[in-house]
């Protein structure tokens, strides 16, 4: 059993404990950081002098400690030695009195070797003052800045960010303005296993812990190990919100930041079960369905695989609202039936859908914001002066939406004929990509199949889609009595960013009025 104490931390006294990195019961390895201390000038982690199990903590966050203060009791498989102390500070030799150029080397940085240069704080041509920080070095236990031994102008840099340096490595060449007698550097704080000045023939330089510079006031506050962790993950610390004392960035803050970024990344278009979801939702469950009974696995069709991600995108990214209505198509149906004799002779089918397309064009002309798209910025509505109506067609391979171009310029018969042609092409898988592009509004008709209402998904970048369900004869009160009327259910889904509820209700009511009065349709 041994007591681990705060090692020599140079001149620093009453330094605050800002993080306790272990707890009783934790097994620690030799050199593992135990606590983080921070003064206004340095951040340092105190490493364990040996391996063992933490028996008891002697300090807590917020305590002020100095050299020799007990940190914890270690049940050591370790040798129980005190943490490595910095080498005794030796008085540096005074610098040469000289004017001219001098090469500034990395001073004695104690036990640290091959320490990474993480910042160059000056560049050639810069004039520097004595004690001004030149570079920042960072090991996994300490961050330290190397000050200039004299005032002068930087002539040449000898290192770059990423270089690994040890004591004596040249940093830069300085054209010194004057060097009289370099003062013996004031003793500076020594991070754990601290750097200390060593005799040198060069003007004395010594590392000091990061000093607050004006431009560093807003620099993130984090320990060396957290900085290293952030760097490994490519996290820019200024973007991380610190939750520690005085806004200090903790290891967990970096983790939370990364997690947040990952959750904001939209799921790839094809993301399905198991993939990352665009919201903070639980992962898709992976269930072994065979556990509950016999199963068969069938791949989705090519069209389903292609269109699924787009349907998903539209469903989650457009604020849909669906307006339901009913159109009295009794007269229209009588008219349609009367016409079918002729169209059948001509070899095509005249269904309600052809009339629907014409009625929609009439409504789109009346309400141009339905025949429109939002531009990419989402701030402008592109209103189209052409009327290309897409029609959802159910095919053995899946749903496709060919477009009836210039529906405003075609008669109902032409549209009916074209509908027959494109639905055949669709079912035979012979539509070309161009046949499905340029739509301004869509209709999805399930009337031939059944149902009373549904909520169609908008075919972006369009802003609305009309769902049509199966018409049915219903008793309607005409003011005196119930009369049998053929009612057609309509479901209008619209993009609420572009279309208000009242406007949608008006569009729907207008469409109902057009379908209910075939004269309006002809007009």
Name the residues annotated as catalytic.
496
CB nearer to ligand CAO: give 420 or 461.
420
Is 448 a binder of ligand CAO (CB under 6 A)? yes
Distance between CA atoms of residues 219 and 211, nearest Å: 11
Compute the least distance from the CB of residue 466 to ligand CAO, in Å: 11
Q: Token digits for 179? A: 């060097």
Is the CB of 121 or the CB of 393 nearer to ligand CAO?
A: 393
For residue 161, the minimal CB distance to ligand CAO (Å) is 56
Residue number with CB closer to ligand CAO (223 or 444): 444
Q: Which of 16, 74, 70 is nearest to 40 (CA)?
A: 16
471 is a site residue for ligand CAO (CB under 6 A): yes
Return d(Cα 238, Cα 399) in angstroms, integer. Answer: 49
Binding mask 341-380 for ligand CAO (x = CB under 6 A): ----------xxx---------------------------
Q: Dig out the tokens for 427 from the structure.
A: 């079912």
Q: Could you tell me the CA-to-CA distances from 252 to 241, 257, 258 in Å, in that order?
A: 11, 8, 10
Which stretch in 25-33, 55-63, 433-441, 465-473 sits in contact with ligand CAO by CB under 6 A?
A: 465-473
Q: For residues 237 and 352, which CB has a smaller minimum distance to ligand CAO in the complex?
A: 352
Helix/strand number for the chain, H first, E second: 8, 28
Question: Helix, strand, or coil here: 370?
Answer: helix
Q: Which residues contact 414 (CB under 8 A, 6 or more apart)?
A: none
- Region binding ligand CAO by CB under 6 A among candidate stretches 68-76, 105-113, 150-158, 467-475: 467-475
Sign (positive or negative) of CA dihedral 108, 113, 115, 120 = positive
Given 16, 119, 211, 394, the residue binding ligand CAO (CB under 6 A): 394
Name the token pair of 505: 């209700």
Q: Binders of ligand CAO among 3-42, rule CB under 6 A?
A: none
**Contact between residue 419 and residue 391 where contact means Cβ atoms under 8 Å apart:** yes
By beta-carbon distance, which residue lies closest to ligand CAO? 447
Q: How buried is 385 (Cβ within 10 angstroms: 0-12 exposed, 13-18 middle, 19+ buried)?
A: exposed
Q: Give which of 246, 55, 213, 83 is closest to 136, Cα–Cα.
A: 213
Binding residue (CB under 6 A) for ligand CAO from 176, 423, 491, 516? 423
Binder among 65, 172, 360, 391 for ligand CAO (CB under 6 A): 391
Name the segment binding ligand CAO (CB under 6 A); options: 13-21, 219-227, 249-257, 389-397.
Answer: 389-397
Residue count, binding to ligand CAO (CB under 6 A): 20
**Residue 455 in contact with ligand CAO, rule: CB under 6 A:** no
As measured in angstroms, the least distance from the Cβ of 265 to ligand CAO is 29
Measuring CA to CA, which residue among 430, 404, 444, 420 is closest to residue 311? Answer: 444
Residues β-bridged to residue 118: none
Q: Which residues bind ligand CAO (CB under 6 A)?
A: 351-353, 391-394, 399, 419, 423, 444-448, 456, 468, 470-471, 488
């Amino acid at each position: 059993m041994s007591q681990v104490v705060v090692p020599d931390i140079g001149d620093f006294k009453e330094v605050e404990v800002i993080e306790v990195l272990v707890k009783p019961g934790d097994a620690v390895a030799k050199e593992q950081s135990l606590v983080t201390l921070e003064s206004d000038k340095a951040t340092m982690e105190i490493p364990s002098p040996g391996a063992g199990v933490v028996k008891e903590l002697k300090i807590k966050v917020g305590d002020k400690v100095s050299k020799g203060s007990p940190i914890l009791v270690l049940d050591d498989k370790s040798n129980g030695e005190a943490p490595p102390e910095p080498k005794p500070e030796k008085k540096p030799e005074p610098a040469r009195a000289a004017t001219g150029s001098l090469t500034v080397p990395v001073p004695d940085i104690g036990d640290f070797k091959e320490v990474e240069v993480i910042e160059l704080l000056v560049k050639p041509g810069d004039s520097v003052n004595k004690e001004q920080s030149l570079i920042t070095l960072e090991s996994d236990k300490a961050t330290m800045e190397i000050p200039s031994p004299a005032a002068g102008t930087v002539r040449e840099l000898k290192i770059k960010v990423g270089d690994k340096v040890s004591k004596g490595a040249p940093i830069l060449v300085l054209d010194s303005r004057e060097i009289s007698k370099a003062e013996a550097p004031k003793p500076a704080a020594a991070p754990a296993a601290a750097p200390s000045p060593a005799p040198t023939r060069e003007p004395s330089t010594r590392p000091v812990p990061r000093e607050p510079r004006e431009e560093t006031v807003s620099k993130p506050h984090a320990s060396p190990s957290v900085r290293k962790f952030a760097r490994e993950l490519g996290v820019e610390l200024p973007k991380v919100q610190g939750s520690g004392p005085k806004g200090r960035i903790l290891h967990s803050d970096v983790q939370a930041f990364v997690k947040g970024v990952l959750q904001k990344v939209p799921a790839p278009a094809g993301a399905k079960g198991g993939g990352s979801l665009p919201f903070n939702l639980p992962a898709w469950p992976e269930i072994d369905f065979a556990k509950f009974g016999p199963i068969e696995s069938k791949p989705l069709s090519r069209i389903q695989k292609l269109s699924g991600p787009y349907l998903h995108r539209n469903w989650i990214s457009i604020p849909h609202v669906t307006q339901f209505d009913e159109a009295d198509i009794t007269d229209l149906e009588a008219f349609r039936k009367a016409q079918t004799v002729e169209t059948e002779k001509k070899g095509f089918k005249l269904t309600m859908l052809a009339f629907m397309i014409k009625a929609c064009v009439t409504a789109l002309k009346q309400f141009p914001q339905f025949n429109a798209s939002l531009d990419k910025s989402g701030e402008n509505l592109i209103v189209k002066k052409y009327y290309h109506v897409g029609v959802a067609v159910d095919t053995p391979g899946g749903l496709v939406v060919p477009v009836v171009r210039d529906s405003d310029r075609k008669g109902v018969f032409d549209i009916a004929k074209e509908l027959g042609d494109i639905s055949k092409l669709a079912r035979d898988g012979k539509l070309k990509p161009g046949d499905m592009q340029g739509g301004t509004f869509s209709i999805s008709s399930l009337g031939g199949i059944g149902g009373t209402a549904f909520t169609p998904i908008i075919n972006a970048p369009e802003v609305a889609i009309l769902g049509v369900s199966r018409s049915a004869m219903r008793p309607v009160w005409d003011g005196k009595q119930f009369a049998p009327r053929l009612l057609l259910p309509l479901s209008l889904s619209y993009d609420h960013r572009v279309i208000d509820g009242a406007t949608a209700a008006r569009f729907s009511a207008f469409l109902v009025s057009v379908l209910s009065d075939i004269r309006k349709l002809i007009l």
